[in-house]
Amino acid sequence: MATFGVSLISNAGGTVESITIEHKSTFKQLLSSTGTAQGTHIYDEQFDVTASGKGANPYGVGVETNPSGVTGVFIVNNSTNNSKNDDFIGWSMSGTSYKYANED
């Protein structure tokens, strides 16, 4: 049986409608003189996160709590509130979690 709902983040006082998490990194490949791969190294690992919902906006710009399954220091770069005549008050946010960063 399928399970529905957003479980990666929670929103106190509101509803999370969607979340997208993109895990990405940069890598360097070392090639031999014949062009064969001799080794690779992954660095700058990060998670780009976007989410939206209805009700109170749980996110401000700055360091925030990571969504489930995301590690590192999560920095919200953009936090938006919206209101329309025929809908509930909404919010959206986007940010990046830097996996190997330390919060000062």
Domain ranges of the chain: 17-98
Among 3-7, 32-36, 67-71, 80-84, which range has the highest average pLDDT?
80-84
| pLDDT tens readout for residues 73-103 | 899 999 999 999 998 999 999 999 998 887 7
Q: Can you give the pTM of this predicted structure?
A: 0.75
CA-based angle 98:99:102, to the nearest 5? 75
Q: Which long-range contacts (CB under 8 A, 24 or more apart) does 81-86 make?
A: 81/57
pLDDT of residue 5: 59
Residue in the structure block whose two tokens are 């990405």? 24
Quote the CA–CA distance of 83 and 58 in Å, as a whole number: 16
Q: If you average pLDDT over every residue of the chain, what do you get?
A: 84
